[in-house]
Structure 1
């Protein structure tokens, strides 16, 4: 028919264009509808999200308030518990002090007795110390002539751990053959326990602690001085 009628092709083309335009309009309407639906859905989602966020924040504030109330309640409960405990302890302490009154009085009396005994011990030690110091003074005269020994009394502050009081210096001479006047010195006294204690020696003797220990065991001052002299002589010969 298009071959015999030249206008058929134009009508067909025009019909197709109208149909295409109609489809385009319909598609445009659909696109506009989809866009509107998308915007509406987007707005709905945003509104729902904002509502959820607000609800979440409100719930969080509510939970925080509840936690604050719980903590305040716990603090108040603990405070009241501590106060009750403190009151109980004070009452218990008062009762204990009342019960301990007699015991304290007894202890005071006992301390007085112990103090009196301690004074007696100190007085006895002082008497012993004075006696030993007298023996040291006597030893000076015994050894001075025979060993070329000079003994000097020293009164003043303590030199080491020996209790403050009188000490004696034993000064040996005639030790060094090349210089008989050279002095070899041992300083000693009696400590707080009433025991002989060597303070120092000049020149120093390595065996001095052993000699001191032997003196404390035997209380033999003469033997101690004789041994000290022997050690000084041996030291001078080296």
Structure 2
């Protein structure tokens, strides 16, 4: 802006100088009456025109500066908008990928749940069959060996043997039994304790012969008397 002012002032001075020289020459040659007044008026008109040109150029420079500022702001806005669009697109892609991952996990969970439900259903059927065998064996042992079965502590069964000790036929020999998560028989307690109980459980798991298991347990109790 300072350079522009200097250029305008220089043009104005140059113009005034030319006018002064022109009119000085005319004055020297002619020097008519009233020429000095016309000279001053001409200078005044020239000054007004120069000032008007200066103001117009000044306004034009201001408009150029304003236009440049607007263009810079619009450029920055466009760049920011493009960055936001790229970020939004990346976020959308990540969300889609996460959505697919979640859907896959849900699918696997459903498949696992379905298999678990099938396994539970199968175990229930097997447990029913085992309970039926249990009841059959219990009835036989109840009649022949004085065995009593009670349901205690939820799903556990208590087996009570009597008539083992000849000196005290009413003395109870007991153990608690349940089905574990794998659907196998599991002895949770035994009174009095039997060292051979783990072996008897393992054999029961292999043969699935509960009647033989009860007979072996009763036999092991008799060795303690």
TM bin (shorter chain)? 0.5 to 0.7
Secondary structure (helix, strand or coil) at the match of 1:206 reads coil
Secondary structure (helix, strand or coil) at the match of 1:235 reads coil
Q: Match for residue 180 of structure 2?
A: 191
Gapped regions of structure 1 (runs ≥ 5)? 1-88, 158-164
Give the whole-Å Cα distance in 2 for the aligned partners of 1:207 and 1:130: 27
Q: Match for residue 114 of structure 1?
A: 112
Q: Which is worse superposed, 196-205 or 105-114?
A: 105-114
Give the whole-Å Cα distance in 2 for the aligned partners of 1:175 and 1:93: 77
Aligned length: 140
Matches within 5 A, 1:1-238: 95-154=93-152, 156-157=153-154, 165=155, 167-236=156-225
What's the CA shift string for 1:46-103, capped at 9, x where partnerless? xxxxxxxxxxxxxxxxxxxxxxxxxxxxxxxxxxxxxxxxxxx999776444334334
* 1:225 CA displacement: 1.0
Give the whole-Å Cα distance in 2 for the aligned partners of 1:195 and 1:176: 31
Secondary structure (helix, strand or coil) at the match of 2:130 reads helix
Give the whole-Å Cα distance in 1 for the aligned partners of 2:124 and 2:220: 32
Q: Match for residue 25 of structure 2?
A: none
Give the whole-Å Cα distance in 1 for the aligned partners of 2:204 and 2:179: 12
Give the whole-Å Cα distance in 2 for the aligned partners of 1:232 and 1:169: 15
Secondary structure (helix, strand or coil) at the match of 2:165 reads coil
Secondary structure (helix, strand or coil) at the match of 1:199 reads strand
Gapped regions of structure 2 (runs ≥ 5)? 1-86
Give the whole-Å Cα distance in 2 for the aligned partners of 1:108 and 1:170: 44
What's the CA shift string for 1:173-200, capped at 9, x where partnerless? 1211211221111221211221001121
Q: TM-score, normalised by structure 1?
A: 0.52
